Structure 1
Amino acid sequence: MLLPFPKERALHYTTSQQGSLLVARDAEGREHTFSSQESAPLIDLLKKALAQHLIPTSYVEFEAGEGYKEALTQLLELEYIYFDGEIALVNKEPSLHAVPGRGEEKWESVTTRLKRHFPVTLANPAIHRLDYDTSGVMVLALNQNSLSTLSQQFSQRGIYKRYVALLEGALAEEEGETVLAFRYDPENKPRQIYDPVLGKWGETRWKKINEEKFMGRDVTRVELFPLTGRTHQLRLHTSHPKGIGLPIVGDTLYGEGLEAPRLMLHATHLGFKHPTTGEYMEFFTPEIF
């Protein structure tokens, strides 16, 4: 199995009846071998490699199957989708901040974890954000050119974004477009409220996928295509009566508080032009609900 990373730092893992072997190559090309006479779990050998600062955020090839992804995610605290020295893409988990907030309890985030692996990166490498409860694809910049170029693509609506969500109830229409304006509600932080006069306009296209059952109740699976990037845009455009009128399952802020293990909203696709080469790139992570 291969991860699409450059080969400056490489890992090769094998396991057999004779034991396990992990070969790691550092940035200078020197090889380091970690072995066990027994069939040791990959996670144990990776911990030894990490102890010598051989961070496996690059090319990986394991003959033992696909267990490396879970092991790497556990060790690095992020699931890396792509890395090339200019940008990094991760599959953000739910219940994790995109950037650190105020207070020690809100410090842990995608960017703080990224900077533990790349300490020389920008002070704020986040080009865009996903809500704390939302999962899915995020792109981060590793230098100023990437940050400026991709930020411009976002502001000029040059980014392809697709989300999948479960909505409470049955949706009659097959597809549509929602254009509504919202602003911050200072009396009910962090809610946004509809305000066509002072609010910022947001635009979302949507399409019904199917109707199904979730925890014994009717829900509708939809795909959402935000053309703008307003705060809580998808949650507002789905829940508000002037929008779709059905809140996202698990949305305790704009929904009805019905039982759900999490907010059922996932960023499945992100497409953009590479900040250096100009090549169009598109990344995908499936929803797990």
Structure 2
Amino acid sequence: MKKNLVKLLTKDKEIRLFIIDATNILERSNLKNMKTDFARQLYTNIFIDCCLLRGFLTEVDQRISVSVRFKPAGHTAHCDVDGSGNVNCTFSSQLAAFNGDFADLVGDGASLSISRASWMSGIFTGTVELKSASINSCFSYFYSKSEQTKTIFRTWIENGIARGCLIQPLPFYNINHLHFVMDSIYSAEKYMITEQWAELTIRVFPYATVVDEYIVQSECNCSKEMFFGILMSVETDELKNSIEVGKNEELECGICGKRYIFSTNDLEAIVKIKESEQDG
């Protein structure tokens, strides 16, 4: 599979960018389960934005989970991204059949939550209200509010092509340089759809250098060992309580839905490792 996510850094080292071509991987996603044109458009936008988030994952064991709760009850979206580049996005049946306007989905009671997890550092979650005029603006608002980091999401969906770009200025950036980047992308928007993927960085981003390239896919390489690491982040007392009452722990992969059962023997092994690390 070709590398379809590119990380760039402007030559002044002030702004990083990620660009994604999600066209092919959408064919293996849950897009086919959307019942309306609106749901298909919304699904594609959320899927592209979540593919871009893969660029923030620097280790294989890291994961990002995105949960969107829209205003009407039962209208939800969930997406998981892992450090191997696997992305899975699902809509509730109500949202998959929604046929109104985006404004009808946001407002009081609507929220966007993004969690980041890894074996060693545990899980960190941020939540913001959804009041923006587009889903891309909602993602941008999350990072400005929860992460205190200006982040801009752009998507282009046309003629069967689905691409996106994330722009994130680094600390101490020059605002004029950010304006230059945004103006350059705006003036070259037609190429985001029409240009061959291999030539896109040269055509649209001549002021930036390619730092890395990744493969993003709608598949899963999960394993029990991966979730063993996640349980390592659970408080030792909680694990001991499960052991005392003879309770197995079950974890479900948010990407493929596979379930992993951890017996009390597994939990005892985890507690032993955690306590030996604390003693050391």
Interval containing the TM-score (normalised by the shorter chain): under 0.3
Per the normalisation by structure 2, the TM-score is 0.23
Higher helix share: 2
Higher strand share: 1
